């Protein structure tokens, strides 16, 4: 880990460890967000010329993994890695404050239509993170007549139906029909920016968030097994519990490695193969790890004041966002099938950056 990355992680860890959940209201920790913003951690991977810190994707992801570890309800993934990326790559200014991006789902789309000097948008986006709190909603869609466009619109001009995911995080449905955007709020999508790439980067963020949450689940489970006594000794000394913890540790390590590999590939070029593999692996690990952790903890893990369920509920929710593992497994099969049987082993051992 580079010195810059170590400094970012240390600063972020200090803020997260000092954060108290009493700051959270309605799935949004405004106070924590303010501290992250003051520390320059909300636009880590956005170029300096666009108002960001100018760091690398891996540096931004290192901070994002802490969001998953601490179950912090802040839209860091959406602000930095999705919205900030789409705006800066398209030559649009990146505003301050929390941002979010749409659409999240493959079956949705937004249409841009030229109206005089401005634009009119139409479409609907479901389950948009933190839409009600965002300073701007960044929309990636297709222009009527061809081409991909990017816009930063005021969520107050959209129809917002409030919702939340299983973890209580804000996931709002947004209606954009008739929403107007000024000419300087819209631009042709920059190189590599489109709805597919937005979804791919979204899947990457969820893999990283799950890796962070899995780190916390393992930590809590090992600690509980050491502190909880039964029949005169810690339950962690019983072979059955040790076996479960070993399985849990293996799942956490595999998921973290897959997420790290996807980030590395994304910095080099097209990472469709690696992101798909990471989303599948972290999703599978999420289900197995949550089950083991709650078995180790017993009923106490589900109680309101115990931190375990803050992580496991997010694991269950995040594994379905930006595509569940079944969808990405099909994508992997399609990529591998299209390369022919003679290329199977090279793909599995060293997939090229341009694969997919």
Instruction: Return mean pLDDT, the chain.
Output: 93
CA-based nearest residue to 150, from 159, 140, 135, 142: 140
User: What pLDDT shows up at residue 22?
Assistant: 79
Is 38's pLDDT higher than 60?
yes
> Mean pLDDT over residues 85-91, rounded?
97
Compute the average pLDDT of residues 88-96.
96
What sign results for the dihedral spanned by CA atoms 334, 338, 341, 346?
A: negative
What mean pLDDT comes out for the span 260-272?
Answer: 94
pLDDT for 178:
93
Q: What residue ranges of the chain are covered by domains with CATH 2.40.110.10?
A: 3-188
Per DSSP, the residues of 4-54 read HHHHHHHHHHHHHHH--GGGB-SS-BHHHHHHHHHTT-SSTTS-GGGTS--
Instruction: Considering only residues 191 and 149, tell me which one the structure prediction assigns the higher pLDDT.
Output: 149
Q: Which 8-state DSSP code applies to residue 82?
A: I
Of 105, 269, 104, the residue nearest 192 (C-alpha):
269
Band (253; pLDDT cuts 50, 70, 90): very high
CATH number for the domain formed by residue range(s) 3-188: 2.40.110.10
pTM reported for the whole predicted model: 0.95
Per-state percent for the chain, helix, strand, coil, to nearest 5: 55, 15, 30
Per-residue pLDDT averaged across 1-7, rounded? 76
Return the higher-pLDDT residue of 111 and 345.
Answer: 111
- What pLDDT, on the 0 to 100 scale, is given for residue 350? 67
Residues 6+ away with beta carbon under 8 Å from 266: 57, 201, 204, 274, 275
Q: How much is the pLDDT for 252?
A: 98
* CATH superfamily membership of 195-349: Butyryl-CoA Dehydrogenase, subunit A, domain 3 (1.20.140.10)
Judged by average pLDDT, the poorest of 106-115, 228-237, 257-266, 315-324 is: 228-237
> Average pLDDT for residues 165-178, to the nearest whole number?
95
According to CATH, where is 1.20.140.10 located in the chain? 195-349
355: confidence class by pLDDT, cuts 50, 70, 90: very low
Taking alpha carbons only, the member of 106, 112, 128 closest to residue 175 is 128
The pLDDT, as a whole number, for residue 69 is 97
Q: Where are the beta strands (DSSP E) in 95-163?
A: 99-102, 110-115, 118-129, 136-143, 148-153, 159-161
pLDDT of residue 7: 86
pLDDT of 282 > 50? The answer is yes
Mean pLDDT of 17-25: 82
* pLDDT recorded at residue 316: 97
Confidence of residue 351 (pLDDT cuts 50, 70, 90): low
More confident residue, 151 or 26: 151
């Amino acid at each position: 880990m580079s010195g810059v990355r170590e400094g970012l992680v240390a600063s972020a860890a200090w803020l997260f460890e000092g954060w108290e959940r009493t700051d959270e209201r309605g799935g949004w920790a405004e106070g924590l967000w303010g501290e992250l913003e003051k520390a320059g951690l909300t636009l880590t991977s956005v170029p300096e010329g666009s108002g960001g810190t100018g760091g690398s994707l891996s540096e931004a992801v290192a901070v994002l993994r802490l969001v998953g570890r601490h179950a912090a309800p802040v839209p860091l993934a959406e602000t930095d890695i999705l919205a900030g990326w789409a705006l800066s790559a398209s030559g649009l200014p990146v505003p301050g404050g929390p941002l979010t991006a749409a659409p999240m789902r493959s079956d949705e789309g937004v249409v841009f239509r030229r109206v005089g000097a401005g634009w009119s948008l139409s479409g609907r986006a479901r389950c948009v993170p933190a839409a009600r709190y965002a300073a701007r909603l960044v929309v990636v869609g297709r222009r009527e007549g061809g081409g991909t466009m990017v816009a930063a619109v005021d969520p107050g001009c959209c129809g917002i139906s409030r919702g939340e995911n299983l973890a209580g995080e804000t996931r709002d449905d947004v209606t954009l029909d008739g929403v107007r955007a000024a000419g300087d709020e819209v631009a042709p999508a920059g190189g590599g920016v489109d709805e597919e790439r937005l979804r791919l980067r979204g899947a990457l963020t969820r893999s990283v968030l799950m890796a962070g949450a899995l780190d916390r689940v393992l930590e809590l489970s090992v600690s509980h097994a050491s502190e909880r006594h039964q029949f005169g000794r810690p339950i962690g000394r019983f072979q059955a519990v040790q076996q479960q913890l070993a399985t849990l540790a293996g799942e956490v390590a595999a998921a973290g490695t897959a997420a790290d590999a996807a980030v590395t590939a994304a910095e080099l070029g097209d990472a469709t193969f690696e992101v798909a593999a990471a989303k599948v692996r972290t999703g599978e690990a999420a289900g197995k790890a949550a089950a083991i952790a709650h078995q180790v903890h017993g009923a106490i893990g589900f109680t309101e004041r115990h931190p375990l369920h803050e992580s496991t509920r997010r694991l269950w929710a995040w594994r379905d966002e930006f595509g569940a593992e079944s969808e990405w497994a099909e994508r992997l099969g399609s990529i591998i099938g299209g390369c022919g049987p003679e290329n199977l082993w090279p793909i599995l051992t060293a997939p090229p950056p341009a694969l997919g």
